[in-house]
Amino acid sequence: MSAATDAIGVFREAMGPESADIARERTLVREFLRDAAASGLMVRQCDSWLSGYSPEFSRELGRHGWIGMTWPRRYGGREAPSAVRFAVIEELLAAGAPVAAHWFADRQIGPSLLRHGTPAQRDFFLPRMARGELYFCVGMSEPDAGSDLGAVRTRAARVAGGWTVSGSKTWTSHAQHAHHMLALVRTGDAGARPSGALTQMIIDMAQPGVTVRPIRMLDGREHFCEVFFDDVFVPDTRILGQAGGGWGQVLGELGFERSGPERFLSTFPLIAGLAGAAGGHPAAGELIARIVVLRAMSARVAGHLGADEAPGIPAAIVKDLGTRFENDSVDAAREWLGSCDADAGLAGLLEQAQTRAPGFTLRGGASEIMRDIVARAWGLA
Ligand SMILES: Cc1cc2nc3c(=O)[nH]c(=O)nc-3n(C[C@H](O)[C@H](O)[C@H](O)COP(=O)(O)OP(=O)(O)OC[C@H]3O[C@@H](n4cnc5c(N)ncnc54)[C@H](O)[C@@H]3O)c2cc1C
């Protein structure tokens, strides 16, 4: 058993017994991951849900039925309970498996299509996404509209049979690889309230007029991008939900984006390494204890998502506390490994975690914004 599975066992034990279905699925995933590591299909890494991009691995997961697990069978899903999906995701992240290629499709685009998509959109996109073959990027943020999404300026003008889109998006993860973007676009008066002026559109990234410019990161990788649209045609059949209904739809989507175990497991391979290293370390115990609490909160939100609710406030709490925890885990690891002879594997995981940490509390919505959401809910702001 690897250090990662040992450590995940510790916090799962603290959560009490699980159903036979969940236990069976965990065993299958672990066996798969062990084989994948042995064959070289995956290399354990920190932040694997955003940094580990492997279409080959995604297609393999799709073949095993681990993408779109909760979706209806007719769309390539398994109609699995959300708790089973939660356990599968947890195993993949704890092992540091490269799941980034299909991540957005599985986490939020698929559920959005099920809520708001037309039958033709579902028939086309969902089965391909569940097979791990078709990838989406998320086009919300713009140069002057990150925290304040209502300020989106990318604009679509009405033309026969559809719309033409002009403007730009930024920080778009994996736009250079994605087949489609789910973009939030202004289709109404710029002076109007966001609730009536924004629309979600599915944009084919191979369409003429789309330019993608990757942004170089601290460690030399190019994971997120600037994307420019120059009169890009989007047919009416690629509008998601209601034209003008984008604001409400995006708020629902952010519930999926903010509450999952990826908001506190990005550094888990490092934590597991600390817990498993000879002699252990008291800091590892504290980190595992915090994970137990975060996991309980996140699993509870997953239950609400499965019930088709949009738990914006609990999701914001998980996002804020979870990403703060991730940063604390990097600090604890740095302090500990700085005072001992860390093996090369552990030092490598720390280096990965350190270079990716600046984005933890920003991506998916900055911490200050999460706290603002919570404070407003209690009438404190
Ligand atoms: C690794 C990474 C991947 C990303 N991937 C994507 C992606 O795929 N698609 C996508 O659309 N976006 C993506 N983003 C963008 C991310 O959602 C934004 O960075 C985030 O929403 C913050 O927006 P901003 O960068 O414009 O910062 P700003 O909104 O300019 O905020 C800067 C700082 O000011 C603070 N601030 C802003 N407004 C307020 C306020 N009202 N009150 C208090 N404080 C405030 C913020 O908390 C933050 O600390 C990604 C970001 C990162 C780091």
Nearest CA to ligand 1 atom 27: 146
Beta strand residue intervals within 113-247, DSSP E = 136-139, 155-159, 162-173, 180-186, 198-204, 210-216, 222-235, 239-240
Ligand 1 midpoint to CA 363 (Å): 6
Ligand 1 midpoint to CA 226 (Å): 14
What's the pLDDT at 357? Answer: 96
Whether residue 307 has pLDDT greater than 80: no
Nearest CA to ligand 1 atom 16: 363
Lowest mean pLDDT among 170-179, 307-316, 362-371: 307-316
Q: How far apart are CA 49 and CA 64, in angstroms?
A: 18
Strand partners, 182: 138, 202
Give me the phi and psi of 53, to 5 degrees please.
Answer: -105, 110
Instruction: Name which residue leads in pLDDT, 229 or 4.
Output: 229
The mean per-residue pLDDT over the stretch 252-280 comes to: 86
Mean pLDDT of the chain: 91
Q: How far apart are CA 181 and CA 311, in angstroms?
A: 24
Q: What is the pTM of this model?
A: 0.94
Give me the phi and psi of 79, to 5 degrees please.
Answer: 55, 35
Instruction: Name which residue leads in pLDDT, 63 or 341.
Output: 63
Ligand 1 midpoint to CA 310 (Å): 21
Nearest CA to ligand 1 atom 53: 359
Ligand 1 closest atom vs CA 173 = 8
Nearest CA to ligand 1 atom 37: 147
Ligand 1 midpoint to CA 184 (Å): 15
Substitution site in 107, 147, 356 for ligand 1 pocket (most atoms within 8 Å of beta carbon): 147
Residues 98 and 45 sit within 8 Å (Cβ to Cβ):
yes
| Exposure string over 264-278, b if 16+ CB within 10 A, otherwise e | bbbbbbbbbbbbbbe
Ligand 1 midpoint to CA 253 (Å): 16
Ligand 1 midpoint to CA 327 (Å): 17
Instruction: Name which residue leads in pLDDT, 381 or 244.
Output: 244
Ligand 1 closest atom vs CA 147 = 29
Q: How far apart are CA 318 and CA 302, in angstroms?
A: 11
Whether residue 347 has pLDDT greater than 60: yes
Neighbours of 209 (CB within 10 A): 14
Nearest CA to ligand 1 atom 31: 147
Nearest CA to ligand 1 atom 35: 368
Indicate the SS3 state at residue 258: helix
Whether residue 123 has pLDDT greater than 50: yes
Lowest mean pLDDT among 231-240, 261-270, 275-284: 275-284
Pair of tokens at residue 120: 């033709």
Residues 114 and 71 sit within 8 Å (Cβ to Cβ):
yes
For residue range 165-198, what is the model confidence (pLDDT) as tens digits?
Answer: 999 999 999 999 999 999 999 998 767 677 789 9
What's the pLDDT at 1? Answer: 41
Indicate the SS3 state at residue 72: coil
Which residues does ligand 1 sit against, CB inside 6 Å?
137-141, 146-147, 171-173, 224, 359, 362-366, 368-369, 372
The mean per-residue pLDDT over the stretch 199-222 comes to: 95
For residue range 7-38, what is the model confidence (pLDDT) as tens digits?
Answer: 556 666 666 788 999 999 999 999 999 999 99
Ligand 1 midpoint to CA 197 (Å): 21
Q: How far apart are CA 171 and CA 215, in angstroms?
A: 8
Nearest CA to ligand 1 atom 44: 368
